[in-house]
Chains A and B, each alone.
Chain A
Amino acid sequence: MIELKNLSYYYGKSTVAALDNVSARIGNGVHLMLGENGAGKTTMLKCVAGLLLPTGGECVVDGVSVTKRLPSELARVFYLGVDDGAFMRDIDTMAKRHAPFYSRFDAEELKRNLDAFGLSSSQKLSSMSLGMRHKAMLAYALSLNTEVLLLDEPANGLDIESKMALLRMIAGKCDDEHTVLVATHTISDMETLYDGLIVMQANHIRLTAMTEEIAERFAFVRTLSKVDDSLYSEWRGGKMCSILPVDMADELGLESGPVDYAVLYGALHSPAAPEVIKYMTGPGRSDYKPFSNGVDYE
């Protein structure tokens, strides 16, 4: 469980907050963290990782504050950045010199991951292409089996096959023992995976919600023409994608597809946002139950 309590971060002497009083509670599972560039995703991930120490507020992972940088806590979190290149010559060296610090490291899993990506553990990382190096680092990161895994744009630059392989690897981490945060500004082909969603905007958290809760409240329909009374709709991939309250969708006899994060993201950045959020939080269903994650909205 990751808890952010009024977390703020200012880079250097900047007066602009990279993270502005952010609060959230993130439980187990795989979470999608959406936000445009500069919204604060990377900063937030780095704070959770202990790489950056908050300017204000605190970040607590499994009851331990990250600022102490205690080994027992650091061993439970791993962060893989966007341009995180190799920090050692090859994966073998990393497995030998770095992995021992992480008690749950699984050498077998590392081998499987590398095989899935078609990579060798002894190959010099600096001689690999950017994509290959990224895959090697992903394979390594996943094999460390840390309770918290923070991935910044993991599917960046991956071909479809590799994305699928990555998808399968992360699917194996969807359990009570792991929390995976996937930060991205483009929805990649991993939509089938997420348990929860965090939307960041202008250095705030706009919304945190579990996929189930979203699915309980909203129907995501794709039609050929606009649906009246939809909360939000946009033209995407040749179809009209709309968000409707579930009740309304039932009334209209429209069937909901899986939660469409891209459309939801669009909705949250449109004038319809307040209403969408209101619907998320207000009692709109007879079996309303409060969120398991905190919601921060304007």
Chain B
Amino acid sequence: MGRRLLITVLQMLITVFVASLVLFALIRLAPGDPAKLLIGRTMEIAWDAAAYETTLNELREEMGLNGSVFSQYVSWIGSLLQLDLGTSFYTDRSVAAEIGERLPSTLLLAGTALIIQTVIGLLVGILSAVHSGTWFDTVVRLLCVGLASVPGFVIGLVLLLVLAVQMGVYEISSQAALSRLWLPALTMGLLGAPQVVRVVRANLLSELGQVYIQSALSRGLGSTRAVWHAMRNVLLPTITLMGLSFTSYISGAVVIESVFAWPGLGEYALNGILHKDYPALQGYALVMVLSVVVIHLMVEALYVWLDPRMMRRKKEAAHE
């Protein structure tokens, strides 16, 4: 068990390392000189060419843009390891600090959405599997296909229009208050639910057709008990899906955060794009990659913990 997780951790470290290389290379590949961009905005266009040149060089020195590409990468990684993501071109503040301020509200939103999605998904998925072939199942199927076809921001905007503008039960502002959490979280949860319903329904149906269910029934166990039996086996694919959903919530929150003016990481990244704030964007992307990898690792660990067959596979691997 331990070895399997260790291998996964190692693979992930490699992934993060390569990802950092990719990000670094992309930033270098980008057209335009960040130092020039920065000056262009913060100073009046230089009247004096020499003074401009001097300021530019000072700035480049300060930003570490003068050394070789390799040394730039090494110093970048060095500061990363000290949790230093650089200074924002735009706000002049530490990127790490800014991300640290916004990460909790994004996690709060994504976490709440995940809970809503899972509750709805499990409930509806189990019901439609148990009542498969009935009108309820058909309606759920149609709703799922329909909901999966609507862009998230459309749902968000419509809800906002109805609940905030017309009914006035939701306040539009840009504060991350708990009272403002429910609508964006509900929107995201609704958007994600069809996938959970689909996975739970399909897996539960196939498990309910298995011999061990018939065997349990033949031993006189009730049908609720039988569904519970099957759910143990549905748990694993559901967990995988939850992991995937969570990553897509954290990264895809951009849209919903933007619609509901939720001050999370997505909004930060959008501002970064707007102002060509490379350090901010780089920091954002790195945090995203790290979260994806960490979530993946957690799912992996849950799997090893939950699936007895995993241990056997491990044992077999050890034999060879």
Q: Do A and B bind each other?
A: no
Residues of A within 8 A of B (CB): none
